[in-house]
A = this chain, B = another copy of it.
Amino acid sequence: MSERRGLTPEAVTDAAIDIVESEGAAALTLSRVARALGVKPPSLYSHVDGLEALRRDVAMRTFEDLAGRLGHAAMGRSGPEAIRALAGAMRDFAREHPGLYGMTTRARPDDEQYAAASMRPVEPMLAVLRGYDVAGDDAIHAARTFRAAVHGFVTLENDGGFGLDVGVDESFTWLVDHLIASLEARLAGATRGN
On chain B, the residues within 8 Å of A156 by CB distance are: 105, 144, 147-148, 151
| Number of residues of chain A lying within 8 A (CB) of chain B | 44
Interchain CA distance A47-B32 in the complex, whole Å = 32
Contact at B159–A151, with CB atoms within 8 Å? no
Within the oligomer, what is the number of copies of this chain?
Answer: 2
Contact at B194–A159, with CB atoms within 8 Å? no
Contact pattern, A 153-168, Cβ under 8 Å of B = 1, otherwise 0: 1011011111100011
Additional pairs, 14, CB under 8 Å, beyond known A138-B174, A141-B174, A177-B194: A105-B159, A105-B161, A109-B160, A115-B163, A141-B167, A142-B174, A144-B168, A145-B153, A148-B155, A151-B156, A152-B155, A178-B179, A178-B186, A182-B182
